[in-house]
């Protein structure tokens, strides 16, 4: 997809379509979520085009103040759930920042609809990170207790799944599709070949190697005991093979990382990105490791993590050949 070029004559529907198509192609938005956002945007744009705002074009939208945007969101959300105005404000902010390459009023908009108990999520989904030390301690603690609550091999498998999210930034689907042939090793540890719209090479942070190594050893033992599994997926669902399901990966990270609110594969992946940003790793290297397709994506992440003041990584590195 070509880069979006702002056109003040563009109508609001086309502005949203450019944003949603970009986000889908960049892997940050599913088609299902895009449909939900489209419904929210239609309510916003319909209200914006009516009296007294008469805002039907991108140029007119760009000229609105934060108070005017707030009035439109409030009117468009009447009769909806209490969380709806906040969701709409966040969506409007994201679309406008994308369309206009930054917009002060749009960036302020979500803060007007915040629950007082929460911080301002500049980009809500990027606020979803784990506390580095807590996540790593929970993972190590679970590793030391392998076999006490589940069968040995499933515990070790789940720890490796959580580790690849936290120490390599893999997406949920990438965990599921990972094959044995995608794993290589060098003098510093494991390196993964992740296939998608383009193949990328992802080295695992030093602290994560022990978890993958333990699982590969356990998987090899399974093959010796029951015969070779029916395929070469790294993470098997049963002793006879079969790739793990999405729900298995989701539950594995929640159980191992021990955070009832944010202990998900996405949160662990975001935490990996935050750690690299905090350590000053080059933007292009982070983009390559994470599979971002444009500079715009890493810029959004850096802004969100800067505002969250993500703590420094536990493991400091000099050369940035590998993640920390």
pLDDT in tens, 278-319: 777 888 888 888 887 766 667 766 766 665 544 333 333 333
Please tell me whether residues 157 and 252 are part of one structural domain: yes
Instruction: Please say which residue of 98, 120, 142 terminates a domain.
Output: 120
Domain with 201, as residue range(s), is 132-308
pLDDT band at 42 (very low <50, low <70, confident <90, very high): very high
Please tell me whether residues 102 and 48 are part of one structural domain: yes
Please tell me whether residues 173 and 92 are part of one structural domain: no
Q: What is the mean pLDDT of residues 146-171?
A: 81
Burial of 22 by CB count in 10 Å (0-12 exposed, 13-18 middle, 19+ buried)? buried
Residue 163's Cβ-side half-sphere holds a number of Cα atoms within 13 Å equal to 27
pLDDT, the chain, mean: 77
| 322 found inside a domain | no
Please tell me whether residues 70 and 153 are part of one structural domain: no
pLDDT band at 128 (very low <50, low <70, confident <90, very high): low
Cis, bond preceding 131 (omega within 30 deg of 0): no
Looking at residue 280, its pLDDT comes to 78
pLDDT band at 183 (very low <50, low <70, confident <90, very high): very high
- Does residue 164 surpass a pLDDT of 90? yes
Q: Measured between alpha carbons, how far is 38 from 18 in angstroms, rounded to an integer?
A: 12
| 323 found inside a domain | no
| Residues 141, 171, 240: CA angle, nearest 5 degrees | 70
Please tell me whether residues 162 and 102 are part of one structural domain: no
Looking at residue 234, its pLDDT comes to 92
Please tell me whether residues 231 and 98 are part of one structural domain: no
Percent of the chain with pLDDT over 90: 16
Q: 202 pairs with which residues across the strands?
A: 192
Looking at residue 43, its pLDDT comes to 93
Please tell me whether residues 80 and 17 are part of one structural domain: yes
Looking at residue 9, its pLDDT comes to 73
pLDDT band at 141 (very low <50, low <70, confident <90, very high): low
Q: Give the SS3 label for residue 138.
A: helix
Looking at residue 285, its pLDDT comes to 86
Q: Measured between alpha carbons, how far is 206 from 168 in angstroms, rounded to an integer?
A: 10
Please tell me whether residues 292 and 144 are part of one structural domain: yes
Q: 238 pairs with which residues across the strands?
A: 241
Looking at residue 175, its pLDDT comes to 92
| 188 found inside a domain | yes
Looking at residue 324, its pLDDT comes to 62
Q: Report the domain count for the chain.
A: 2
| 73 found inside a domain | yes
pLDDT band at 57 (very low <50, low <70, confident <90, very high): confident
- Does residue 248 surpass a pLDDT of 60? yes
| 218 found inside a domain | yes
Token code pair at residue 3: 């880069």
Which residues lie closer than 8 Å to 23 by C-beta, 6 or more apart?
29, 34
Q: Measured between alpha carbons, how far is 64 from 55 in angstroms, rounded to an integer?
A: 9
Please tell me whether residues 141 and 109 are part of one structural domain: no
Looking at residue 226, its pLDDT comes to 74
Looking at residue 222, its pLDDT comes to 85
pLDDT band at 33 (very low <50, low <70, confident <90, very high): confident
Instruction: Please say which residue of 120, 140, 169 terminates a domain.
Output: 120
| 1 found inside a domain | no
Please tell me whether residues 83 and 202 are part of one structural domain: no
Token code pair at residue 321: 């050949």
Q: What is the mean pLDDT of residues 89-99?
A: 87
Looking at residue 189, its pLDDT comes to 87
- Does residue 53 surpass a pLDDT of 90? no
Please tell me whether residues 65 and 173 are part of one structural domain: no
Which residues lie closer than 8 Å to 125 by C-beta, 6 or more apart?
28, 266
CATH number at residue 189: 1.10.443.10
| 193 found inside a domain | yes
Looking at residue 150, its pLDDT comes to 52
Instruction: Please say which residue of 87, 120, 153 terminates a domain.
Output: 120
CB atoms within 10 A of CB 246: 12
Which residues lie closer than 8 Å to 179 by C-beta, 6 or more apart?
232, 233, 234
Q: What is the mean pLDDT of residues 81-104?
A: 84
Looking at residue 282, its pLDDT comes to 82
Q: Measured between alpha carbons, how far is 305 from 313 in angstroms, rounded to an integer?
A: 13
Looking at residue 124, its pLDDT comes to 37
| 320 found inside a domain | no
pLDDT band at 144 (very low <50, low <70, confident <90, very high): low
Please tell me whether residues 185 and 97 are part of one structural domain: no
If one compares 24 and 230, the residue with the highest pLDDT of the two is 24
User: Considering Cα of 57, then 62, then 65, then 66, what sign does the dihedral take?
Assistant: positive
């Amino acid at each position: 997809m070509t880069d979006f070029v702002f056109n003040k004559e563009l109508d609001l529907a086309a502005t949203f379509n450019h944003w949603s198509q970009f986000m889908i192609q960049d892997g940050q938005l599913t088609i299902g979520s895009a449909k939900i956002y489209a419904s929210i945007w239609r309510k916003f744009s319909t209200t914006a085009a009516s009296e007294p705002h008469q805002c039907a074009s991108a140029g007119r939208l760009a000229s609105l103040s934060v108070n005017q945007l707030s009035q439109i969101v409030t009117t468009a959300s009447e009769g909806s759930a209490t969380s709806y105005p906040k969701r709409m404000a966040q969506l409007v902010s994201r679309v406008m920042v994308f369309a206009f390459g930054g917009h002060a009023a749009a960036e302020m908009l979500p803060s007007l609809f915040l629950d007082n108990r929460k911080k301002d999520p500049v980009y809500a989904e990027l606020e979803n990170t784990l506390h580095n030390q807590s996540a790593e301690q929970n993972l190590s603690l679970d590793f030391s207790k392998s076999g006490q609550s589940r069968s040995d091999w499933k515990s070790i498998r789940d720890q490796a799944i959580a580790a690849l999210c936290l120490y390599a930034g893999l997406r949920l689907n990438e965990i599921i599709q990972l094959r044995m042939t995608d794993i290589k090793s060098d003098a510093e540890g494991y390196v993964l070949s992740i296939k998608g719209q383009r193949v990328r090479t992802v080295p695992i942070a030093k602290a994560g190697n022990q978890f993958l190594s333990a699982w590969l050893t356990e998987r090899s033992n399974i093959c010796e005991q029951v015969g070779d599994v029916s395929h070469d997926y790294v993470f098997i669902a049963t002793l006879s093979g079969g790739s793990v399901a999405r729900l298995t990966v989701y539950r594995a990270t929640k159980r191992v990382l021990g955070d009832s609110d944010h202990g998900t594969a996405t949160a662990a992946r975001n935490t990996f990105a935050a750690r690299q940003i905090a350590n000053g790793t080059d933007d292009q290297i982070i983009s390559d490791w994470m599979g971002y397709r444009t500079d715009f994506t890493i810029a959004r992440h850096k802004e969100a993590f800067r505002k969250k003041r993500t703590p420094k990584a536990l493991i400091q590195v000099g050369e940035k050949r590998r993640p920390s």
